[in-house]
Amino acid sequence: MRRKRFVFLLLLLALLLTACGGKKGGLRVEGAWGRPSPKMAMAGAFYMTIYNDGAQDDRLISAASPACGTVELHESYMTPEGAMGMRPVAGGIPVPAKGKAELKVGGLHIMCIDVKEGFEVGKKVPLTLHFEKGGDLSVEVEIRQEAP
């Protein structure tokens, strides 16, 4: 009787773990990278492609990293004077079902403000992405000279 209950609990635990994995399994990140920046730099940008293999639309609403004082979601735009500027994205970055969001140079990016330590080539910066429905997803941002 005792043994049966133990086996039942194990099965229940396995089922719960599978359920959690499935929920977050719809979201994945590829090619997360950022350019090197010296210790004195105030900010650095992170780029990546976020895939949503799930059946429901999701949205990247914020992100956090122990390497950054503040993390913001940004978009690049052309100022009326013809210069490149950037600004926070209102309402987050949509990641459509069975689709993707591309964060790349000159477009959407994740801004690491108040860099805590220098980003030299080869460094892996931990970053946690917060999604509206999918919850948290932890990734490593590789510091490199060129896009992967």
Round to whole Å and give the CA distance between 125 and 115. 11
Which residue do the tokens 């590829």 mark?
A: 30
Binding residues with Cu ion: total (CB under 5 A) = 3
Instruction: Name which position in 32, 33, 74, 112 contacts Cu ion (CB under 5 A).
Output: 74
Residue 49 Cα distances to 4, 94, 105, 108, angstroms: 46, 12, 12, 10
Q: Which run of H or of E encompasses 31?
A: strand 27-34
Structural contact between residues 143 and 120, judged by C-beta atoms closer than 8 angstroms: yes
Per CB under 5 A, contacts with Cu ion among 78-117 are: 86, 111
Residue holding tokens 């910066």?
125
- Residue with nearest beta carbon to Cu ion: 74
- CB of 56 or CB of 70, closer to Cu ion: 70
CB of 111 to Cu ion, least distance (A): 4
Beta carbon of residue 134, minimum distance to Cu ion (angstroms, whole number)? 23
Q: How far is the CB of 78 from Cu ion (least distance, A)?
A: 14
The binding site for Cu ion (CB under 5 A) comprises 74, 86, 111
